[in-house]
Amino acid sequence: MEPDIALMSRLAQGDEGALEELYRRYSPSLYALLLRMLQSREEAEEILQDSFVQLYREAARYQPERGAVVAFLFT
């Protein structure tokens, strides 16, 4: 299994396969958190999608020394 940091590096270069892998790893837990917070499936799904779109756009800003990929995603 490829480390998250390597996936973020690939993602920063526009590799959509890296985004797919990060989505596979983290979407279930992020969706569960959003669902608990929002109490709405539609809103949770929308924010989940928006979160990964933003991750794709902002991947180059990720700095591993500041925290884990999952923390970057969840914020």
DSSP assignments along 17-67, one per residue: HHHHHHHHHHHHHHHHHHHHHH--HHHHHHHHHHHHHHHHHHGGG--GGG-
pTM comes to 0.93
13-72 pLDDT, tens per residue?
999 999 999 999 999 999 999 999 999 999 999 999 999 999 999 999 999 999 999 999
Amino acid letter, 75: T
